[in-house]
Structure 1
Amino acid sequence: MTDSVVELQTVERHVLQIKMQDRVSKNTFSEALTRGLIETFAEVGARSDCKVVILTGYDNYFASGGTQEALLSLSAGHGAFTDRDLYSLALRCPVPVISAMQGHGIGGGFVLGLFSDIVILSRESIYTANFMRYGFTPGMGATCVLPQKLGFGLATEMMLSANNYRGEELQQRGISFPVLPRDQVMIRALELAQVLAEKPRLSLVTLKEHLNASLRDALPGMVEKEVAMHAITFPQPEVKARIEELFRH
């Protein structure tokens, strides 16, 4: 898959890396990136030689959320984000996933990374749950995973305000993830992956299943409520106008 917008490669013994690199869309959830991630995670889950996965982006981008076309389609009442389960790929992967978020994590792209088992942020990058900037309520399981991973107070602020936060600021706010200079994020991810890869695969799979039980159990109900909120908030004419305006900049 070396020519794909999603590249899968072995970086250490028992360690696979999934690299998102849709440079045309800047790692928004284009059809190519979405399909590539779903297919690649399916391949990883079927590989008995894999004990750990590192998920990362390219240059200054980790993942940038929905495309303008997808958001306008949702605002017109066509489909739902649940039509393709992109957001919980890392959660459903049987082996531990490390999100090496070396670049910006925007909206659903930030949420995608938070569903990993271990998250590493960069000091310089922007992280945001920016759904409300467009006028619609959060989706992609954000209302479930953000409070669990960031704490209720910070998660609520991020979702209501839709503000941008540098990794350095989130570190000052007390998040529990490592926050490092961008050029050190992958180094730390590889170090952690090597430590995990020393363990028996069955033990890693079993422990991951146990540690994620509460998140996995809560997610379907929260996603159902997010879809219901979208049915209320997406059809507003203001939302379509905001999407068109913000994507012009």
Structure 2
Amino acid sequence: MAPPALQDATLAMEGRVAMLTLNRPEVRNELTGTRLAAEITEVAEWCSRDERVSVLVITADGPAFSAGGNVKHMLERDQGSFGGDVYEVQAKYRRGIQRMAVAMHGLEVPAIAAVNGPAIGAGFDLALMCDVRIASTRARFAESFLNLGLIPGDGGGWLLQRLVGYQRAAELSFSGRMVEAGEARDLGIVLEVVEPDDLHARARELAASFAAKPPQAVRLTKRLLRQAQRLEFRDHLELCAVVQGMCHNTADHLEAVSAFLEKRPPTFLGR
């Protein structure tokens, strides 16, 4: 299955890891006046379909990870992502940036955000859509919608409180304040903070460790983690029993057990 053709981002495969790089640094990788939201959607959907992919890493070129929405365009009520009457604007959200949120939430493989610089508004929410975030010391984060008289229109209000709890999500959302990389680590927004020159290497290292596991079991684990957020515990256990039955009947499970007992590296085939 061929990967999508991209204009505003680049996509490379490194083994079973897909590396997506946002590539509109001249506009700080904003999501509303570029094709980036649509291309992230295409890549996420492709990763879910193509079983050669086990991990998606999202990073960016330039000083910023993503500035989110284009603030200047918000004054242009007659055009662009924010133009039109109430019906037209809501349709643009549903068919635009919210499609990205849905695709990322439905992504069947682990996603790692390698946050190289500021992730603001919808750019912050894009990082939240990933399973794991690694930040450069130059990264900063802000759920800044209220500063512009807006609400998080791409799911940030749902995502942030599940990561840091309701009270902290409320404080960050109501204040719209900037969070430096170190505080983001302390709050649990990011897993690690590394020097800028080490960011991509660390993200690749982490992605490779995920991709080294049996591909089918990786996808099934991701599915269970997502579904656990909305299932009662006993329902989760019922689902686990079925999925575990699937895993016990894979060739990769037998290879993993054999390799463990024989004290050798496993070779997984994705079946």
Q: Does the TM-score normalized on the shorter chain lie above 0.5? A: yes
The structure showing larger relative contact order (alpha-carbon pairs under 8 Å, at least 6 residues apart) is 1
Question: Which position in structure 2 is the counterpart of 1:18?
Answer: 20
The residue identity in structure 1 corresponding to 2:94 is T
Does structure 1 residue 111 correspond to structure 2 residue 125?
A: yes
Equivalent pair of 1:101/1:120 in contact (CA under 8 Å): yes
Q: CA deviation at 1:151?
A: 2.5
Q: Report SS of the residue matched to 1:61.
A: coil
Does structure 1 residue 143 correspond to structure 2 residue 157?
A: yes
Q: Which of 64, 77, 80 does residue 67 from structure 2 map onto?
A: 64
**Where in structure 2 are the equivalents of 1:19-168 lying within 5 Å?**
19-29=21-31, 30-68=33-71, 69=73, 72=77, 73=82, 76-77=85-86, 78-80=88-90, 81-84=93-96, 85-168=99-182
Question: 2: CA distance between counterparts of 1:89 and 1:113?
Answer: 14
Which consecutive residues of structure 1, in runs of 5 or more, have no partner in the other structure? Answer: 218-249
Question: 2: CA distance between counterparts of 1:145 and 1:134?
Answer: 20
Residues 163 and 208 of structure 1: CA distance in aligned 2, closer, same or farther (over 3 Å): same
Question: Which position in structure 2 is the counterpart of 1:246?
Answer: none
Question: 2: CA distance between counterparts of 1:168 and 1:2?
Answer: 36
Root-mean-square deviation (CA, aligned residues, Å) is: 2.3
Structure 2 length-normalised TM = 0.72
**Where in structure 2 are the equivalents of 1:230-249 lying within 5 Å?**
none
The residue identity in structure 2 corresponding to 1:113 is A
Superimposed CA distance per residue, residues 177-213 of structure 1 (whole angstroms, 9 cap, x where no aligned partner): 2122222222221111111111111101111011112
Structure 1 length-normalised TM = 0.78
Q: CA deviation at 1:90?
A: 2.5
Q: Report SS of the residue matched to 2:27.
A: coil
Larger Rg: 2
Q: CA deviation at 1:31?
A: 3.6
Question: 1: CA distance between counterparts of 2:140 and 2:173?
Answer: 15
Q: CA deviation at 1:89?
A: 3.0
Q: CA deviation at 1:70?
A: 5.9
Structure 1 runs of 4+ aligned residues shifted over 3 Å read: 172-176, 214-217
Residues 203 and 174 of structure 1: CA distance in aligned 2, closer, same or farther (over 3 Å): closer
**Where in structure 2 are the equivalents of 1:131-210 lying within 5 Å?**
131-173=145-187, 175=189, 177-210=191-224
Superimposed CA distance per residue, residues 72-110 of structure 1 (whole angstroms, 9 cap, x where no aligned partner): 526852322222312243321111111111111110111
How many residues in Structure 1 have an aligned counterpart in Structure 2?
A: 216
Question: 2: CA distance between counterparts of 1:123 and 1:158?
Answer: 20
Residues 216 and 74 of structure 1: CA distance in aligned 2, closer, same or farther (over 3 Å): farther
The residue identity in structure 2 corresponding to 1:201 is P
Point out the more displaced range, 196-205 or 116-125.
116-125
Question: 1: CA distance between counterparts of 2:188 and 2:222?
Answer: 24
The residue identity in structure 2 corresponding to 1:129 is E
Identity of aligned residues (%): 24
Superimposed CA distance per residue, residues 22-59 of structure 1 (whole angstroms, 9 cap, x where no aligned partner): 12322111242222222222322222211111011113
Question: Which position in structure 2 is the counterpart of 1:8?
Answer: 11
Question: 2: CA distance between counterparts of 1:75 and 1:170?
Answer: 36
Residues 137 and 175 of structure 1: CA distance in aligned 2, closer, same or farther (over 3 Å): closer
Point out the more displaced range, 179-188 or 1-10.
1-10
Question: 2: CA distance between counterparts of 1:35 and 1:173?
Answer: 30
Residues 170 and 41 of structure 1: CA distance in aligned 2, closer, same or farther (over 3 Å): closer
